[in-house]
Amino acid sequence: MGRLSWASWLYIAAIVSAAAAILALVPRGSVGPGFWATCAALALLFLVCDSTPIMLGDRQWAWSPSSAATLAAVVLLGKHGGVGAAMVGSAAVFSVRRVPLAERLFNGAMYAVAGYAAGTTFQALHGQFVPFCSISDFLHGVPVSSAISNSFGMALWPFAAAAIVHVLVNHGLLWGMLLLDGHSRTAQPQARPTWGLPLLLASDIGFAALGLVIAALWAVFGAFAGAIVLVPLFVARWAMGQFADQQRAHAATLRALCQAVETKDFYTRGHSERVSRGAGMIAREIGMRADRAEAVRFAGMLHDVGKLGVPTKVLQKEGRLTEEEYAAIQLHPMRGLEIVRDIGFLNEALTGIMHHHERMDGRGYPMGFAGSEIPEFARIIAVVDAFDSMTSSRAYREATSIPDAIAELRKSAGAQFDPKVVDAFAAAVDRDGWPRQEPAQPRGHEILTSQDHDDPMAPLQVVERT
């Protein structure tokens, strides 16, 4: 959290007040020492997990399987499961991690509210978990199969519902905070989470199932179960860490390729990132599936990677190109495909890279595809690519204003661009805005090229062959 707005502070105060009201419901005289001992052991387990999170995205999002401890409380503490889970979740306030006080309070209150909502759901669905054997029965091999199935039968579906409620409340409260705090985060685009929300929700619900495992072990081993479950919890944490590392490695691969292109062609500085962002805006506008939306952002990032295969003197040439030089530029989509086609995670993004210069009237390159023959990703990249080129300043002209660039896209819709994609992009820009481009300033030996192959307002000049 950066500097908070007053709305964010009000939001935190409301969540903390709700958590305080829930914790005030803690039964005092009506529970035995077992309730407090279970709460304390699970709160300790919660703290161990919460204090050793893995970092997601660009290391700005902490994740841990701590909610498994909260959900175990939901199951183990009977009719007081809601309040007990709230107490376990509120332990986040004492996390050993270095976090600002406001974030610490928000986290504790958020987990308390989510735990209470999960516990209330479990009780409302008449969830029960009857310990199916003692440690003595367990050690003496007493058969418990029917008791296990009965106990799980009574707990399973209410637990599944409680886990879903816990995850939804947790993420709902968190995203509320992010929306209110959005103005300070939009200043740093990389601070936004790069993970798809559905993926995060699904993995959280999956890891929440460990709460039931903890409860089952608790029935046999008592509080020692807390120590035993640390092993699967840390294996889960390790698996998520591996996945997060892989995501970061993908992002680093993309950044390295983009930097290589930007070094070669000064005009493309920041262009790849913006085309990627615009492609993501269109994907959101047309309701594209999360995995395809991520792939089209990759396509936007890498669409011009094939420039690495075009001689630098051609990219930076002033004046008219010869036919051979023009042919070299027209080859860049194919070169791009050759460069990145073995990168496994790109999948459908490859179609966007190869066909981003096709035109709806079939006069584009490299294949001369027309209309629906052009892959959807390529039709999306083509629109944002041209828009970003027009709204960036060039050596031969000033940047075009956003309304004029949208008007230019509409003028060429049908002939060059897919009209539906143009409409979607115009609506997305209207909703989200578009970052203002600072005029390009070359550094040191860098040369400002005098032509831009993406600029629909100034097509490349080619010498007629005599």
Element (H, E) at 125: none
Of 210-218, 259-267, 302-310, 373-381, the window that binds Fe ion (rule: CB under 5 A) is 302-310
Residues in the chain: 466
CB closest to Fe ion, residue no = 304
Site for Fe ion in 126-185 (CB under 5 A): none
CA-atom Rg of the chain in angstroms: 28
CB of 416 to Fe ion, least distance (A): 14
Q: Which residue has the tokens 């892989």?
A: 246
54 φψ region: left (φ > 0), alpha (ψ -120 to 50), beta (else):
beta
Q: Is 454 helix (H, G, I), strand (E, B) or coil?
A: coil
CB of 268 to Fe ion, least distance (A): 9
CB of 317 to Fe ion, least distance (A): 16
- Count of chain residues binding Fe ion (CB under 5 A): 1
Nearer to Fe ion, 215 or 321 (CB): 321
Secondary structure percentages of the chain, helix, strand, coil, to 5: 65, 5, 30
Which residues fall within 8 angstroms of residue 130, CB to CB, at 6 or more apart?
147, 150, 151, 154
CB of 385 to Fe ion, least distance (A): 6
Which residues fall within 8 angstroms of residue 83, CB to CB, at 6 or more apart?
22, 23, 25, 26, 27, 77, 116, 119
CB of 310 to Fe ion, least distance (A): 10
In sequence order, the β-bridge partners of residue 56 are 61
| 262 scored as a contact of Fe ion (CB under 5 A) | no
| 358 scored as a contact of Fe ion (CB under 5 A) | no
**Tokens found for residue 94:** 């004492």
Of 133-141, 192-200, 268-276, 304-312, the window that binds Fe ion (rule: CB under 5 A) is 304-312
Of 79-87, 195-203, 296-304, 339-347, the window that binds Fe ion (rule: CB under 5 A) is 296-304
CB of 424 to Fe ion, least distance (A): 21
Residue 46 main-chain phi, psi, to 5 deg: -60, -45
Closest CA to 358 of 307, 310, 415: 415
Nearer to Fe ion, 304 or 408 (CB): 304
By the 8 A CB rule, do 208 and 67 touch?
yes
Nearer to Fe ion, 181 or 455 (CB): 455
CB of 301 to Fe ion, least distance (A): 13
| 304 scored as a contact of Fe ion (CB under 5 A) | yes
Nearer to Fe ion, 56 or 360 (CB): 360
Of 218-226, 253-261, 303-311, 399-407, the window that binds Fe ion (rule: CB under 5 A) is 303-311
Where do contacts with Fe ion occur on this chain (CB under 5 A)? 304
